[in-house]
Chain A
C-alpha cells in the first residue's frame, strides 16, 4: 500500500524555472525522504528530513515538512534539463520505507 501521495502526478516547466512537488502521508513518521529516478532505473536518495525538522536544504533542493498537516514539499530551484526524472517521497515508519506513486517532472528547453 502507498503511504505517501505526491502532487502533481506530472509537471512540465521551462528550464530555469523552479519546480515544486508536494507529498501527503497518513501516519506518524520517523522521517521523510525524497528520491529521484531516471528512466526506470534505480532510485537516488536526494534528502532526508526528520520528524522534528521543518526545513532542509541541499544545493538547489529545499524540503519542508509539516507534521501537523502530514505533508512535505520539494522545491528544485533553477531547474536544468538533467532534472527531468520521476521524484518520489518516502516515509519511514516502523523501520520500513514506503514510497508514493511519484511526480514525473519534465524540464522543457
Chain B
C-alpha cells in the first residue's frame, strides 16, 4: 500500500518564477494538507483540501494556491517566487474520521 507520494523531490527556481508541486495521498485518504518547513523550524500550515475545496487556510499570501482533483491528488502552486519561499514543502493526507496524518517525504524547493 503506497503512502503519500510527492514530486519532484528537489527543485531549483529563480526569483519571480512560478512552481507547481504535486502530491498523491495514501490510499483511502480523502483530505490533503500542505505545510512549509523552513530549516530548523516546525512545519507551517498552508492549507487543507477536502472534496476538491479549500477547507482551511493558514497565514500565507495569495501567491500560494492549490487544487485537489477528483482522485484526491493535489497540487500546490506558488507564484512570483521569493528567496524566502525556499523550504521543504510537505504534503500530508488523512481521512476525516481519523486524525493522524501520513506525510510524504517532501519537496525541497530552492529559490535563487
Give A contacts to B, CB under 8 Å. 1-2, 30-31, 33, 35, 40-45, 48, 88, 92, 94-102
One of B14-22, B42-50, B62-70, B73-81 contacting the partner: B42-50
- A42 interface neighbour in B39, B58, B59, B103, Cβ under 8 Å: B103
Number of A-B contacts (CB under 8 A): 63
Inter-subunit contact A88/B42 (CB<8 Å)? yes
Q: What total of chain B residues lie within 8 Å of the partner, measured CB to CB?
A: 28
> When the two chains form the complex, which single residue of A31, A44, A101, A102 contacts B99, counting CB atoms closer than 8 Å?
A31
Assess the A97–B59 pair: CB atoms within 8 A: no
B46-102 residues at the A interface, CB under 8 angstroms: 48, 55-56, 58-59, 88, 90, 92, 96, 99-102
Cβ-defined contact, A101 with B42, below 8 A? yes
Query: Is B104 in the interface zone, CB < 8 Å from A?
Result: yes
Complex contact A42–B42 (CB within 8 A): no
Q: Is B25 an interface residue (CB 8 A)?
A: no
Which residues does chain B contribute within 8 Å of A45, judged by CB atoms? 100-103
